[in-house]
Every structure is written in C-alpha cells, then in structure tokens.
Chains A and B, each alone.
Chain A
C-alpha cells in the first residue's frame, strides 16, 4: 500500500492492491489526472478512502480519470481532487444528509436579488449568495495580482521612458559634426531638425518591431515554462493586439519626443560650437 495522500476537505486516499471484490458493488469514483499519475492508477483499479490514516475503511473503484478545468486558484496548491457520489461521501464522512452548499437555478425572469432576500428570510442557518457575488469574491485574488502587475508595468514604463530619452539624446548628440557641416553648406535648421526627427522615428519604429518580437518570444517562453512548472493549460502571458498597439504608440511617442527635444537643442547651437571651435 502506498502512503496515504491528502485530498481536498481532508479525505485521505491510498492506492491498494486488494482481493478483487465484485466491482459492481463498490462505490465508483472519478479521479483527476494528476492524482492518477501520482498513484499510478487506472480506470478499474480499487482504492481505499478514509478521513484518517487509521480509518481507511471505504473501498472504491476508479470509474474515470478526468482532466480538471484549468483554475488559477488551484495551481499553487498540492491538493488532488476526487469526485464521488454524494451518498458515498456522506457515509465516508459519517455525516449523512449533510452538504456544504446547494446550487439553485432560478426560473427565467426571476429577479436574483428578490430570490436571495426571500431565501435569506425563510431559511434559518443558511447564507444565500448570488453567483455573481461568489465570482467577485473568488476573483479578488486575481484582481490583486492584476493590480500588482499593473504597478510593475508602470514602473517598467517609467524606466523604459527614461532609457529611451537617454538613448535618443545620445543618438542625436552623435550627429553634432554632421549637423555642423550641413549648417556650413547652407542646409536650413528646419531641414536638419526634420532629418534628425525622421531618424529618431525610424530608430523608435525599428525598436518597436524588435521589442514586439521579443515580447512574443518572452511570452511564449513564459507560457511554456509555467505550463510545465504547474502542469496546467492556463495562459500566463498574453500579448494582445491592444497591448502591442499601446506599447508601440507609447514607444513611438516617447522616441519622437526625445528625438525632437534633442534635435531642437542641436539646431539651436551655433555651427562653430557644434564643430568644436566655438
């Protein structure tokens, strides 16, 4: 017999090699894929279930192995799930005719709020929650993670903006001699400014293309790594057209702004100073 492993709600399970009783008489359970892998179980195997290691009294047969729906709330937990018929679980827990919750479907057209109020009034010992409230409550964790990601994104954008400003400034500053020569041969300031701005725009556009490619590769790598790490089909990194559009627009705007500022500074400087003789 293997070591008992914990299941949700403190059930314990152990895979066992048992004398084959008539399978039809045994309670049927379905187990999640990872649990089947952990205990090398297959459909038709028999298992012992209990609420404590010294009371693994219920013998059941594995009727199905299922893949649970990917759930972000579950990925970091080590619990394994098993589904069984309600009466079998009640017997196992020694709590006949007890449940944790009821699901209630309303007749179409019935107002949820009034149904909740009516049930709260009449059902002593119950708390009644609309599905929307439960969804909001259970998604709170992900809203927090989302807020954290947004805050990190803002810091990253600030850092990137400063980086971009620096690079653009340096890039334009590199053109001091070129600008001086152009001024000496009579090229107008406006033309030099336009040329430098165009160059800044091209650099920013090229950076956007490379950055988008990098984001797609990094996103794919992130998904591949975490899907393997957590053994799940969840998507961890999603590069949407909206995100790409926002990033490209922001980068172009920042690049042009930085390029314009640096170019303006350059064209206002006297040619001899640019040439290094002023």
Chain B
C-alpha cells in the first residue's frame, strides 16, 4: 500500500483525471456527438418532408371543397325553349344547350344592369365568361325535368362561376397573374370584386366535388369524384371477395398441409418474388391476359379488380401465414387429441383464432391496392368517363375510373384549376386510407392475442 503511494508520488508528471478530457478523448466524444446529430437530422428531414408534402397537398386541395357560385334570376323564355308552346318534353329536348346559354347570358347581363354594376372595357363575351360552361346543361336538365313549372317563369338560379373566377376568389388567380392570362383580364377580376360585394358572387360548400362525375377540360369547376369513388369502391369489393378466400386457402395449405417438396418450394419462391414485382408489370399482365386474350371490357372495374387482386394476393398470403403460424401448436394438438381431423382442427380452431391477424393484413393489403395507379393506367382506366357505372353486378363491366387514376388524370391537364381538384382528390383518398388503417389498428389492438 505504502509502496504504491510512494510510486505515485514519485512520478514526475501527475496523471490526468478521468474527468478531464484529453485531446484524443475529446475527439472521440465529438465523433460520438456528431454521429448522434446525423441520426436526429435524418429523422427531422424525413418528418419535415412528410409535413411539407401533406401541408402542400392540403393547402392546394382543401379549396376544392368550396366553389364560387353566381346567384341571379333568369327568365326561361317560352319562345326560345319551347317554340311550339305545347310543353312537350320530347320536342323541347331538341333545343340545345346553346339556347340555354343565351338565356343565362341575358339573365346575367340584366342582373348587372339592375344592380348598376359595370366595369370599363368589358365586352358582352367577357361578362358571359363568368358563367361556367356547365351551367347551360344543368339548366336544360332542370327545365326538361319539370317543363310545366319552369318554362315561361323567372327562376332564381345559383350556377357555378367559371374556373378562373373561382380561382380568383380562392387566391389562385391574382390581378398580376391575370395580365399574362389569355383566359381572364384584370377588368374581369374587378367586376368579380364588385359582384362579390353585391352578394351575387359567393363561395359556398361544394358537395358536388364528391358526387359529380368528371368534366371536360373546359369545365374544371364542375369536375367531381363520383365515378372515381364508385369505381374504387367496386374494385375494393371485388378485390376483397377474390383475395380473401383465395389468400386464406393458399396460406392454410402452405402452413398446415403442404408437403416439403419441389412444388411447395416453387410456390414459396414465387410468392416471395411476386411481392416485389413492380406494379406496372401487373398492368401489362392484365392488358395481355384479361383484355387482349380473355376479351373482358377495357376500363371495367372487373379487370381492374383482377389485376389488383393478383398484385395484393402475395401481401395477403404473407400476412395470413404469419398469423396462422402465431397460433400455438397446442391448440392443434388439443383438437386432434379429442378426435378432430386435421382439416377440422384447422377450420374450427386455428382459423378463427388467426382471423384478427388475417383481417388486419387484408385491410392493409386493400389500402395498398386502393392507392395503386400504374397498372390501372394500362388497362384503360385513365379514359374519360362521365357516366356512373350501373349497379352491381352488371356495373362491374361498365367503364369506370379509380380515385388514384383520377388524381393522375387531373394532374396531367393544362388548366391549373385541375391541380386543385387533383389535390382535393388526394385528400379524399388519404381520408379513406386513414379510415382503413385505423380499422386495422383497432382490430389488432382489440383482438390480438399474445400466447
């Protein structure tokens, strides 16, 4: 003891304390600190991009749920709409939307005069451009539905304003941008300001965005998601009906019955690889097999669902097998012990216990399928569809489109008003995905068993 103390005191240099960093330790600690910061920076970057993306989509898209409308009275003159004066629906159907457009034009101009609103340098054409090109068709349909009460009277109408005016009220179009825009002039925007003050022009909730079918390039204000939502719903229903039984059957076979042989190995390898095949390849498959070879109708929800099912099947099988494997063997042994056959033990005991896990996996698979776009483009679902598909079962063969395809289709169009629609459609899509994921999480929390 004392000799150590002597040795220590005999050293010429005092040993540095462990609490004082020397240069080498300092460098090592700095490296440690830097490494940690890299990790934090990586996480912050990923979360920040996620936030920026969601924010940019929501700020672009939320305005699609509101729409500018014009309110003014229109006289539905009998001698324009119903020249023969007998209110016969079939004869009136010969009057085209052009005549209705003239009525709207007259009505709108009269309203401006009545309210004493006028702006220098606006032609009649500039003023009639305020009314959406969709309005005449709507007025025509309303008139034809009820000729007796409509024709010859003055109706207080609420019609869509055209896309640029809508954009101005929402801040997408400004007086500065209008200078370089051939479709709108600052003078028109001045008129829009005045109309807004007078209460003729206003922005209101727009439920039509959810229910309307798609509209042509000229009428972004009338475009809606009705057909796309219906098409996606049909496809999800069919994918569920096709994927769940086949996926469960395949998983049961592979987990419980399959002998270890070449064929089983082939199936295993195939499932693993199919899960990683790019989705567009499934589109090529669908085009070649279901449309060109089997002759199913293009852009029908049936073909879309077949393609999505093949794509989702590996995911469902992988999830189902995992939850079947999680059921402890003691359950099977107990069933076999009291005289059940292998098949009975699986169907009566293992499968019900694995069901929550299977459903969770299936819902997540469906969520992926709901957002898938590329394969649907190849089977013709990007075509312009403005008729609702019929009710099931015949409706499965009607042309339809899907939510993600509609998003893509609108993003490709020239008018920037369609970008707003596209982002709005993403909000709807994300809403559905959120619901599906919440259901999956609740299912897992509620029914998952730890053995």
Q: Do A and B come from one complex?
A: no
